[in-house]
């Protein structure tokens, strides 16, 4: 089961990648996270972890795909299922970027995780994307 949200932003690809690759920065825009870290470079195969504000639980993830012209994907393994989150962008004819965040739940219990995690996250993601774009604009302007 998939959930996706997109926003349009007039930001540079360089600033977008700078924000995406700065994993400890994720909680500044993803208010569901208290903390996030990466155990190495932002590269395919690197593992990381995120700590949620709700329940204070740590979740491990692994970067499985990076395409500088498109975006990146990470997977979170869960008992009986998997969450793949895809963060992508595309340049529109007007020159602005469409930034998309997709949650894809698979496996025998994927439907359950989609209902318990995906549905509530999907409800707040439009605001999270707006916050993300604001922070990317600040990065672009040299403010941090």
Please name each of the domains of the chain with its CATH number. 2-140 (3.30.530.20)
Per-residue b/e over 85-95, b at no fewer than 16 CB within 10 Å? bbbbbeeeeee
100, 89 Cβ separation under 8 angstroms:
yes
| pLDDT tens column, 114-124 | 999 999 999 99
- Looking at residue 144, its pLDDT comes to 45
Torsion of CA 76, 103, 121, 27, to 10 degrees: 60
The helix (H) or strand (E) run that includes residue 7 is strand 2-9
> What value does the mean pLDDT take over residues 32-61?
94
pTM here is 0.92
The proportion of the chain whose per-residue pLDDT surpasses 90, expressed as a percent, equals 90
- Looking at residue 56, its pLDDT comes to 81
> What value does the mean pLDDT take over residues 102-106?
97
- Looking at residue 54, its pLDDT comes to 84
User: What is the residue-averaged pLDDT of the chain?
Assistant: 94
**Which residue matches tokens 């996030």?**
36
**Residue 55 confidence (pLDDT) above 90:** no
| Helices and strands (H and E) in the chain: how many | 4, 7
- Looking at residue 142, its pLDDT comes to 78
> What value does the mean pLDDT take over residues 10-39?
95
> What value does the mean pLDDT take over residues 102-111?
97
Alpha carbon 119 to chain centroid distance? 15
**Residue 83 confidence (pLDDT) above 70:** yes
β-pairing, 33-38 vs 47-52, is: antiparallel
Alpha carbon 14 to chain centroid distance? 16
Helix axes 13-21, 119-140, angle to 10 degrees: 120
């Amino acid at each position: 089961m998939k959930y996706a949200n997109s926003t349009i932003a007039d930001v540079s690809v360089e600033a977008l990648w700078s924000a995406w690759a700065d994993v400890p920065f994720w909680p500044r825009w993803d208010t569901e996270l208290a903390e996030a870290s990466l155990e190495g470079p932002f590269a395919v195969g690197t593992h990381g972890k995120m700590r949620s504000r709700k329940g204070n639980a740590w979740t491990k993830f692994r970067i499985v795909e990076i395409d500088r012209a498109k975006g990146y994907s990470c997977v979170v393994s869960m008992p009986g299922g998997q969450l793949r989150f895809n963060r992508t962008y595309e340049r529109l004819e007007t020159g602005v970027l469409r930034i998309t965040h997709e949650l894809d739940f698979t496996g025998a219990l994927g439907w359950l995780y989609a209902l318990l995690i995906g549905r509530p996250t999907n409800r707040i993601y439009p605001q999270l994307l707006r916050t993300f774009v604001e922070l990317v604009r600040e990065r672009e302007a040299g403010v941090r």
